[in-house]
Amino acid sequence: MASDLIVTAQHLMLRGLLSLPAPVKRALAGRPVVLDGLTLETETQLVLRLQRLLRERGPEAYDVPAGRRVLDGQSRVVGGTSQPIGSVEERSLGGVPVRIYVPGARTESSAPQPTLVFIHGGGFVYGGLDSHDAVCRVLAERAGVQVISVDYRLAPEHPFPAAYDDCVAAYSWIVEHAVELSVDRDRLAVGGDSAGGNLAAAVALDAARSGLPLALQLLVYPTTDMLASQGSRRLFGEGFYLNTAFMDLATEAYLPVEGDRTDPRVSMIRAEIPGNLAPAYVVTAGFDPLRDEGEAYAKQLAGAGVEVTVDRRDGMIHGFLNWVGVGSAARGVVLELADRLGEALTASR
């Protein structure tokens, strides 16, 4: 109870702070941060400054169980706890726990629904149904699609390929039981953020090779190369939320066997791209250590003839997808992504 009260208080405080007039937020944030020719978005800069002043530590600074609680709490602070949704149901699909979100406009419909299979981020170590509950609600309501959020097993308890296996199994089960789940197989997407973007890309590759239907892959700042050394990892590895310590911990926990780090199921930048791969909408953040590898994978897909849209949000940082309950900048981007998702699944009919 105390923890819930603290999270609620922090959420209300942050929401109030980011509701201040733009000139006030600019003054509180300090001089604009410009790096690599990009300017950090003001609300984001203000939140990062507040975290430094409060000496708030990331999940990587704690043991794994405590770090998971920290990340869930941070997600609730920026996501809020009251995002509207038509209905929510928890189930197990082929042994994999999921949470199913149906938007209000579709709760009375028995027709097959356009559906997003969503895979959460968290470095393969953190996150779950609760950490991404708010954004799943927003995506479902705004896009007008059913969202099935997958709760895959986490490292270090379950190293590679456990998360991959769970996500592939869940997607296959959803396709096989589409009628039972009110899923329209012709309007089915897979998506995720960060490690979830990695897993979504891997599911899309498996679906193409297995002949399973897929209309769209939505990859939000995905990690695509577990041996990455691109410039963005060096430029933004400190001071912009996702840091080098977190990334190193994630790699070591999920991929303790070094030889697995080049496996194309987890480093899809090394994968052979099937010719029938679903169109990709790749979203990156300008101040994200993972920016360059996400865009490199998009370039690889385009070179293989896959239909690709790359959408870099210059002033954003890693993790902005969760910021749906505070401020206007990140939430506005998420609403735009949801609109693109809804349009894509409607057009694929």
Residue 212 has phi, psi (to 5 degrees) of -90, 145
Q: Provide CB contacts within 8 A for 244, sequence distance 6+.
A: 233, 237, 238, 289
Which structure tokens are listed for 235? Answer: 């430029």
- Output phi, psi for 126, to 5 deg: -120, 175
Whether 63 is a known active-site residue: answer no
Q: What is the pLDDT of residues 78-114, one digit of tens each?
A: 999 789 999 999 999 989 999 999 999 888 888 899 9
pTM of the model: 0.96
Residue with token string 């041996």: 227
C-beta of residue 323 within 8 angstroms of C-beta of residue 334:
yes
pLDDT digits (tens, 9 = 90+) for 262-321: 999 999 999 999 999 999 999 999 999 999 999 999 999 999 999 999 999 999 999 999
Residue 281 CA to residue 105 CA, distance in Å, equals: 25
Among 185-199, 225-239, 308-322, which stretch is predicted with the lowest mean pLDDT?
A: 225-239
Count of alpha carbons within 13 Å of 58, Cβ hemisphere only? Answer: 17
Q: Which of 57, 82, 77 is nearest to 13 (CA)?
A: 77
pLDDT at residue 109 in the model: 83
Which tens digits make up the pLDDT trace of 71-82?
999 999 999 978
Q: Where are the alpha helices (DSSP H) in the chain?
A: 2-17, 22-29, 42-53, 64-79, 133-143, 162-176, 195-210, 231-235, 244-254, 291-303, 329-347
Q: How many CB atoms lie within 10 A of CB 92?
A: 11
pLDDT the model gives residue 347: 67
Is residue 348 scored above 60 in pLDDT? no
Which domains are present in the chain?
81-347 (3.40.50.1820)
Catalytic residue among 194, 232, 267, 348: 194
Structural contact between residues 207 and 191, judged by C-beta atoms closer than 8 angstroms? no
Which residue type does 174 have? I
User: Which of 11, 120, 132, 318 is an active site residue?
Assistant: 318
When pLDDT is cut at 50, 70 and 90, the band that residue 345 belongs to is: very high
288 is catalytic: yes
SS3 at position 83: coil
| Amino acid identity, position 251 | T
**95 dihedral zone (left: phi>0; alpha: psi -120 to 50; beta):** left
Task: Tell me the C-alpha distance between 130 and 164, whole Å.
Answer: 20
- Residue 4 falls in the annotated catalytic set: no
Query: Which residue in the list 72, 130, 133, 288 is annotated as catalytic?
Result: 288
